Amino acid sequence: MKVALLGYGTVGSGVVEVIRSNSESIEKRAGKPIEIKYVLDLRDFPNDPINELIVHDFNVILEDEEVEIVAEAMGGINPAYNFAKACLEKGKSYVTSNKELVALHGAELLEIARIHNVNFLFEASVGGGIPIIRPLNQSITADEINEITGILNGTTNYILTKMKDEGRTFEDVLKEAQELGYAEKNPAADVEGYDACRKIAILSSLAFGEHVNFEDIPTEGITKITKEDMVYAEKMNCVIKLLGTCQRQDDNVFARVSPMLISKSHPLAMVNDVFNAIFVKGNMVDDLMFYGKGAGKLPTASAVVADIVDAAKHKGTNIMTIWNREKIDLKAKEDVRVAYFVRLENADAGLGERVNEIFGEVKQVEALNGEYAFVTRVMKEKHFSEKLEALSDVKVLSKIRVQE
């Protein structure tokens, strides 16, 4: 079966390596040999044997009827969206690791794939090498999903782990994560939480069967997290993790991406370095946890190639995936209930009393450098903001949500 690969960077070169290294077992599982016929990239690779397969014109791939599966690892919306649409409409299955594309156009591309009786598969778009899309779509289908919460970005988990364990600076570890091929082309997507936001949008769309618009998800990254916050976390027997979550609450769904303080006894607290973990709560199966490398060349390529194998096995059959275009209205972020850890600068003698008056009873945390630090009780986001506003004369050094 002839495959074309779009993009020969970290993931794309991994796809070639996986197919070549495991060709025998892949052939057995796919029921036929899988052969890469073309690799589309902007560049040439004169010192790499792949160069003989390099093309620069997408139409060569589109018009070649021998090519039945196209695997994309270029990233971005343009031209990936047009390429995906054109391939599916031509009857070619399309496999991608591109979460930007899936979060924005997943519902539409799945529909086009269904109409043309081919497949649009995107296992690598969430959690790198962790199987999570297929379980949601095929294994947990007996359940109503009530919650998905996870560490969904390898770069930020790598940064937070190294800052905590090795006392290194944010900038230094980010540079290393880029060198290791974990980070997005523009690493703001990682550190500002946009990447995790797209991933939780994809997971919640699959879990609830309707479109969760990533732009509706309140998103905060890790750029404001400091070494001092890490010291406080340690004192509180907690760690700081960037979590993406979606939950059913009453008759609503709420979703959010933000750094959270979680107890060291929480299962996600032990997920370090580039590893990701995704916790899923079903109403019948109860708690499930998926764990593995969330970024990097070979783990991600493994998921892309597994999709290629699935597309080969399902030639002529569309694997039904429920993700309607109809949009879910998410619960307003102001109404979501949460507890906060707060650090205030320059505590004067009366500050503790004022905090208690404003917030009601708080849990005081032993403070550093003359600061005042505390954890609030659980309250609506809007009430927290109003109360903090009443302290507008005091500098807020940090405010981090606390996972119950």
For residues 181 and 11, give the distance between their C-alpha atoms in angstroms, rounded to a whole number. Answer: 9
Give yes or no: 227 in active site: no
Upper half-sphere CA count for residue 67 (Cβ side, 13 Å):
23
Per CB under 6 A, the segment of 20-28, 38-46, 160-168, 396-404 that binds ligand NDP is: 38-46
Q: Are 183 and 156 in contact (CB under 8 A)?
A: no
Q: What is the chain's alpha carbon radius of gyration, rounded to the nearest angstrom?
A: 23
Q: Using CB distances below 5 to 8 A depending on partner kind, what does residue 190 bind out of ligand HSE, ligand NDP, none?
A: ligand HSE
Q: List strands edge to edge, sheet with 93-96.
A: 54-55, 35-40, 2-6, 67-72, 93-96, 120-121
Single out the residue of 109, 107, 45 nearest to residue 72, CA to CA.
Answer: 109
- Binding ligand HSE by CB under 6 A: which of 7, 12, 129, 294? 294
| Residue 41, contacted partner among ligand NDP, ligand HSE, none, CB below 5-8 A by kind | ligand NDP
Residue from 84, 183, 191, 261 in contact with ligand HSE (CB under 6 A): 183
Query: At its nearest, how many Å lie between ligand NDP and the CB of residue 190?
Result: 9
Task: Tell me the residue nearest to ligand HSE as measured from the CB.
Answer: 155
The correct pick among 182, 291, 341, 372 for binding ligand HSE (CB under 6 A) is 182
Site string (76-115) toward ligand NDP, x via CB under 6 A: ---x-----------------xxx----------------
Q: Which residues contact 280 (CB under 8 A, 6 or more apart)?
A: 135, 136, 140, 145, 147, 148, 207, 287, 288, 289, 290
Q: Which stretch binds ligand HSE (CB under 6 A): 46-54, 163-171, 179-187, 359-367?
A: 179-187
- The DSSP string of 99-139 is HHHHHHHHHHHHHHHHHTT--EE-GGGSSTTS--HHIIIII
Which residue has tokens 């609503």? 252
Asked whether position 41 contacts ligand HSE by CB under 6 A, the answer is no
**Contact partner at residue 79 from ligand HSE, ligand NDP, none, CB < 5 to 8 Å by partner kind:** ligand NDP
Residue 40 engages ligand NDP in binding (rule: CB under 6 A):
yes
Q: Which of 90, 164, 199, 241 is catalytic?
A: 199
Q: Does 159 bind ligand HSE (CB under 6 A)?
A: no
CB 262 within 8 A of CB 268: yes
| Alpha-carbon distance values, 43 to 3, 8, 62, 385 (Å) | 19, 9, 19, 50
Pick 73 or 174: Cβ nearer ligand NDP: 73
Question: Would you say 93 or 155 has its CB closer to ligand HSE?
Answer: 155
Identified binder of ligand HSE from the candidate list 149, 155, 204, 376, rule CB under 6 A: 155
Q: Is 210 in the site for ligand HSE (CB under 6 A)?
A: no
Two tokens at 24?
Answer: 């025998």
| Cβ nearer to ligand HSE, comparing 204 with 398 | 204
Kindly state the smallest distance separating residue 295's Cβ from ligand NDP, in Å: 3
Q: For residues 135 and 290, is the Cβ–Cβ distance under 8 A?
A: yes
The strand pair at 363-365 and 337-344 is best described as unpaired
Q: How far apart are CA 115 and CA 258, in angstroms?
A: 38
Site membership for ligand NDP, residue 12 (CB under 6 A): yes
SS3 call for 252: strand
With CB under 6 A as the contact rule, the residue among 153, 205, 321, 398 that binds ligand HSE is 153
Q: What is the DSSP letter of 364?
A: E
Q: Which residue among 181, 221, 244, 292 contacts ligand NDP (CB under 6 A)?
A: 181
> Toward ligand HSE, which CB reaches closer, 183 or 338?
183
Q: Which phi and psi (to 5°) does residue 37 adopt?
A: -95, -40
Tally the C-alpha atoms within 13 A of residue 264's C-alpha that lie toward its C-beta: 7
Task: Assess 8 for contact with ligand NDP (CB under 6 A).
Answer: yes
Other Cβ atoms less than 10 A from the Cβ of 365: the count is 17
Q: CA–CA separation, 81 vs 75, rounded Å?
A: 10
Which string of x and - marks every residue 59-78 that binds ligand NDP (by CB under 6 A)? --------------xxx---
The count of residues in the chain is: 404
**Binding stretches for ligand HSE (CB under 6 A):** 128, 153-155, 182-184, 190, 195, 294-295
Q: Indicate which residues carry an active-site annotation.
A: 199
Q: Which residues would be at the binding site for ligand NDP (CB under 6 A)?
A: 7-12, 40-43, 73-75, 79, 97-99, 124, 128, 181-182, 184-185, 295-296, 300
